[in-house]
Structures are given as C-alpha cells and as structure tokens.
Amino acid sequence: MSDLTTRAASPTSTAKVTVIPEEFTFVRYDAAEIASIVAELAEQLEIANPIRVVVDETTPLAKVYEEIDAASSDATITLHAESGALEDRKHPMSFSATGARESLGRVLLRAHDRMRSDFADAPGDLDLTLAENAAWDTYCSGRLARMGVETNQQRWRYNHRNRFGFDDGIDVAFDALWNADDLAWSDIVTTAGG
Amino acid sequence: MRQFFPVEDLARDERFVQTNMAERMKDGRTAIDVKESSAKSRGASKRLTPERHDASDAARGLMHGIMVGEIQALEGAGRTAHDFAAGDGTNDTVPFELKLDMARQAWDEARHVEISAKLSDWMGTELGEFAENTVLFEAACSNDPILRLAGVNRALEGLAIDVFTQMKEFGDVAGDPYLEFCEDWMLADEVTHVKMGSDWLRKVTANDPERRTKALEFQQVVDKLFSFGGARGESAESSFSLAKRFRELAGFTDDEVQTISQMDAEALEERKEAVRKYRERVGADV
C-alpha cells in the first residue's frame, strides 16, 4: 500500500505525518489534505511524534481509534479511521475537512493522553467498553471545542446519555467531563457516570 | 395550481442537498461483509441497537432520513389529494373520501416532520446535515392515483412502519423516553396510513383486476428499492427488520409479507454481488 508523508511546518512541532493510502479509489479524499490537517492538530497539541493515519476507504462506517507504540515522544502514533469519519455527510464519498478535524483530533487527543503516566491503566482503544469509550469521547470533544475545532456538543451529550442514562445527574456528569482539563484515566471513568 | 410535480421541483432551502438512488448505488463502499468465506463481518451485527459501537451516530443518521422521508410523504399525500378530480375512481378520478384521507395523511405527516425535526435536535443533528434521498417522493410521481397508493401508502409507509418499530425499540433499550414515546405515536399513524392504502387499492380496483395487478407489481418494484440494498431484512447484516405484526394490522397478507421479506434478502445479495464486482474492477481486496 502506498503512502504520503508530510512534515508540519511549525517551529513548535516536528510531527511527521504519513497517510495510507496515498491515493483513494472508493472516495474522493486527498491524502495531502488529511496530512496537513493532522499536522496542524499536532502543532496545536505540541505533539512531535511521528504519526501514521490509516484510512479504511472500503467502508462508509465511521469508527476511529488510535494506537501508540510507547508512552514516549519518539513513539509512532497510528490513527485509524473508517472513511465515514472523514466524510461530508451532505455529499457522500466527498471529504469534509471539518469532520476530519473533529474525528482525527479526538483520537489524537487520546494519544496525547496516553503519553501521561496516569493513563498507563487505560485499556487499548479496541478493548474499551462502550461506556469508557463514550466517557473519553466526551472529555476529548470538550477540549477540542475549546481548541477551536467545530464540534456539536449536543451530539456528544446524546452519545453520553445513550451510554450512561437519560437523567439530570448524567447531564451534570457530562458537563463536568466536557469542561475538564488535565484529568487522569481514573478521573474520567469515575466522573462519567455521575 | 400546478398538478403533477416532478421530483426536481421539490422546494428546499439551502440547508438541504438532494441525492437519489442511482447516486447512492454508485458508492462502492459497504458495511456489509462481502467475503463469502469470512465468518465474521466487520462489526458483527448491523442491526441498529444501542450495542453497536456507533449507535448514537447511526440513530442520528436514520432519524434524519425519517425527517426528510416525512417531508416527502407530506408532499406525496398532498399531491394526491390535489392532483386528481373527485369521481368514481375511473378515468383519472378518485373518490372524494380518498381525497379526504390523503388530506388527513398530509396533516399527520406535517406533524411527523415537526416531531422528527425536534427529535433530530435532541439527538444533536442539524437539519440538512445528511444528504436527502428523494427516492420516496419519486414513488409518488405516477399518473395513476392507484399506483401512488401502492407506492406511497403501502411501500413507503410500510417502510416507515419497519423503521419506526426499530427506532422505538432503540429508544426503549437505550432508555431514551422521548424517542420511544414519539416513535410509538408516529408508528400508530403509519399503520393507519398503510391501512388506508390497502383499503382504497382494493375498493377502487374491485372491478378492474388488471389495474390492481399493475399496482401491486409497481409496489413490488418500489418495495425492492426501499430495501436499500438489504438495509431492511431479517439478516443480522441489515439495519432494521420487517415489522411483520404491524404490517398485518395494516392490511398486508402473510403472502405479501413473505414476498417483501424475500425481496429484501435478494436485494442484499444483489448489493453484495455489485460491490464484489466493483472491487474486482478497481483491484481492491475482495
């Protein structure tokens, strides 16, 4: 499989971003545009690690997850995205820079979290329960919104309610997670359920 | 006032982008496992339940589809109430009581549009966030009012019964009180709409078996389109199933339900085959 590699131009981040595949067949996506978006996000988060973005263009589903070799600044971060996560929902098979920023930003934040020692106990993305996954998404989406990335809070509130319940106590927990910074993995889990 | 509105002339504001079935079927991606030898599909069951990892977003997408479907159902019922003169049902006329039923249905659909728009807001979806497939209104463009009843009231509203049953269950299992309640009420209306279609189709064609056969054949064509390449069906690979009990209540016979179920299965296999061929053509891993 071919890939496309780019380096962030920023003086504060030297993240090298590789996108796989380099050319898309099923969707009208541009690997260079994806690399540039990820490089921008990495710059904002001051992440200098090498980053691989692997897009599964054969499915319209929208799962995203990340893997990181080790909790160190030279470890490779791999962001996996099904094509639906980067898609313009008004124009199927077309790319949405806004959607890509939101989806890839969320998992890049997770990778950023995993470099902290108080996230050592966090299960791998594919081993998270649906509730753990939703809680972490809430925490990441709130921070993304404060970074200036376009995010629909109600979408994530609904996702949180689906996993934890439809009551006022859960909404308070959602607000606490959404507005939080600097949490440890155990804080996310305990805060989420109210 | 103008009669017989083509699909291209539907009025929408700048938030909405329309697509059609031909465009959707050009998409070579699929969530269905097309590898016959593979025992496990990508995400196991595709049924829309809260257990799916993407449950919230899948439900949001389906709710948006329901909302635009309700707009088109409103437009379809309204057109049928208006496009044909009152008469005995022959020569492009329809009984006046049928027009009244269509007017009542338009009123119901308008209420459903409002409910679905509010549910979309509750779920975190913006109006027009997803492409609008106009296939539903296309079923309401026939020049024969009986074909419209077959296409809209029996096929389209039948599809609504299936989708609302699934969404009601989703709301129930997830514990979402608004979703469960609203879907239940809308489902009751849809059963009535299908029943109206079944009753009028039989009444108006009582002395015209050829017209009835043509209408039922048209319904089958529309029903197959509405299975969306197997999105509806008994298989776990389908997002929602055929709501057999509610369809019985709406006037479908056991044979008719069986036929639709069979067509859904065929549509799924045809879609898989089309995707396999597309992948072979582009040299992707089949």
Half-sphere exposure of B233 (CA within 13 A, CB side): 23
In this structure, the answer to whether residues A20 and A102 fall within a common structural domain is: yes
pLDDT at position A191: 94
Q: pLDDT category, B221, cuts 50, 70, 90?
A: confident
Residue A73 pLDDT class (50, 70, 90 cuts): confident
Which residue in A has a C-alpha nearest to residue B278's C-alpha?
A26
Could you read off the pLDDT of A94-111 as tens digits, one per residue?
A: 999 999 999 999 999 999
CA distances from B188 to A23, B158, B198, B249 (A): 49, 12, 16, 10
Mean pLDDT confidence for B52-79: 95
Range of B38-47, B257-266, B275-284 with top mean pLDDT: B257-266
Question: What's the token pair of residue A85?
Answer: 């996560």
How far apart, in whole angstroms, are the C-alpha atoms of residue A141 and residue A138?
5
The answer, for A57 touching chain B at a CB cutoff of 8 Å, is yes
Q: Determine, yes or no, domain membership for A107.
A: yes
Query: Does residue A120 lie within any of the structural domains?
Result: no
Q: Could you state, in order of their start, the residue ranges of all structural domains in chain B?
A: 7-20+48-282
Quick one: A135 and A111 in the same domain?
no
- Does A60 fall in a domain? yes
Provide, as residue numbers in chain A, all residues whose Cβ is less than 8 Å from the Cβ of B29. 26-27, 57-60, 83, 93
Residues A160 and A140 grouped into a single domain? yes
| Within-domain flag for A122 | no
Topology of domain B7-20+48-282 in CATH is Ferritin (1.20.1260)
B130 CB near a chain A CB, below 8 Å? yes
- Span of B209-218, B252-261, B273-282 with lowest mean pLDDT: B273-282
Three-point CA angle A166, B161, B231, nearest 5°: 85
Answer for the pair B35, A58: CB distance below 8 angstroms, yes or no.
Answer: no
The residue of chain B with its CA nearest to that of A58 is B29
Q: Which tokens go with B74?
A: 């409103």
Q: How many whole angstroms separate alpha carbon B233 and alpha carbon B45? A: 12
List C-alpha distances in Å: B112 to A44, B15, B184, B193, B198. Answer: 44, 19, 12, 13, 21
Amino acid occupying residue A31: A
Residue A91 has its nearest CB partner, among B43, B131, B174, at B131
Residue A1 lies in a domain: no
Residue-wise pLDDT for B7-56, tens only, equals: 999 999 999 999 998 888 888 888 777 665 443 334 456 789 999 999 99
The pLDDT, as a whole number, for residue A8 is 55
Q: Is A97 exposed, middle or buried (0-12, 13-18, 19+ CB in 10 A)?
A: middle
The answer on A168 and A104 residing in a single domain is no
User: Does A165 contact B at CB distance below 8 Å?
Assistant: yes
- Which among A91, A157, A165 is the nearest to B17, CB-wise? A91
Q: Is A130 an interface residue toward B (CB < 8 Å)?
A: yes
User: What mean pLDDT do residues A55-59 have?
Assistant: 95
Judgement on whether residues A18 and A47 belong to the same structural domain of the protein? yes
Residue B196 confidence (pLDDT): 93
Considering the domain architecture, whether residues A65 and A148 belong to the same structural domain is answered as no
User: Looking at residue B264, what is its pLDDT?
Assistant: 87
Residues A85 and A180 in one domain: no
Which residues in chain B have their CB less than 8 angstroms from residue A133's CB? Answer: 53
Token duo for residue A157: 């509130």
Do A26 and A109 belong to one domain? yes
In a domain, A132, yes or no: yes
Packing angle, helices A185-192 and A130-146, rounded to 10: 110
Q: Give CA–CA dist B80/B57, Å, rounded.
A: 35
* CB contact (8 A) between residue A156 and residue B124: yes
Distance from CA of A52 to the nearest CA of B (A): 21
B58 and B48 Cβ atoms separated by less than 8 Å: yes
Residue A11 shares a structural domain with residue A106: yes
Instruction: Please judge whether B57 and A130 are an interchain contact, meaning their C-beta atoms are less than 8 angstroms apart.
Output: no
* pLDDT given at position B156: 87
B161 with B243: CB under 8 angstroms?
Answer: yes
pLDDT higher for B275 or B67? B67
Is residue A121 in some structural domain?
no
Could you give the CA distance from residue B194 to residue B250 in angstroms, rounded to a whole number?
5
What is the count of structural domains for chain A? 2
Nearest CA among A16, A120, A124 for reference residue A72: A120
Do A92 and A159 lie in one domain? The reply is no
Q: What is the pLDDT of residues A139-184, one digit of tens each?
A: 999 999 999 999 999 999 999 999 999 999 999 999 999 999 999 9
User: In a 3-state reduction of DSSP, which class is residue A144?
Assistant: helix
- Is residue A155 a part of any domain in this protein? yes
Percent of chain A with pLDDT over 70: 92
Instruction: Give A19's strand partners.
Output: A4, A53
**pLDDT category, A6, cuts 50, 70, 90?**
low
A29/B contact by beta carbon, under 8 A: no
| Interface contact B121-A25, CB threshold 8 A | no
Chain mean pLDDT for chain A: 93
> A51, A82, A115: which is the final residue of a domain?
A115
Alpha helices in chain B (DSSP H): 21-25, 55-83, 96-123, 135-138, 145-148, 157-174, 177-204, 209-225, 244-249, 254-282
Whether residue B281 lies within 8 A of chain A, CB to CB, comes out as no
ipTM above 0.85, yes or no: yes
Beta-carbon separation of B54 and A25 below 8 A: no
Number of Cβ pairs closer than 8 Å across A and B? 92
CA distance B95 to chain A (A): 40
| Contact predicate A191/A164, CB 8 Å | no
Tell me, yes or no, whether A187 and A145 share the same domain: yes
> Cβ(A59)–Cβ(A83) under 8 Å?
yes
pLDDT of A88 above 70? yes
Each residue's pLDDT tens digit, B142-191: 999 999 999 889 888 889 999 999 999 999 999 999 999 999 999 999 99
**DSSP-derived secondary structure letter, B152:** I
**B194-199: average pLDDT:** 92
Lowest-pLDDT choice from A92-101, B34-43, B68-77, B256-265: B34-43
Q: Do B56 and A157 touch (CB under 8 A)?
A: no
Tell me which residue in B27, B57, B60 faces A93 most closely, judged by beta carbons. Answer: B27
Q: Are residues A93 and A23 in the same domain?
A: yes
This model's pTM is above 0.80? yes
Closest CA to B101 of B46, B40, B42, B145: B145
Q: CA nearest B119 in A: which residue?
A: A158
Contact predicate A142/A180, CB 8 Å: yes
Q: Are strands A16-20 and A4-7 parallel, antiparallel or unpaired?
A: antiparallel
Per the prediction, chain B carries an average pLDDT of: 89
Distances (CA, A) of B17 to B11, B20, B128: 11, 10, 7
User: Domain of A22?
Assistant: 6-115
| Crossing angle of the two packed helices A153-164 and B55-83, in degrees rounded to 10 | 110
| Beta strand pairing call for B18-19 and B132-133 | parallel
Q: List chain A residues with CB under 8 Å of B60.
A: 155, 158
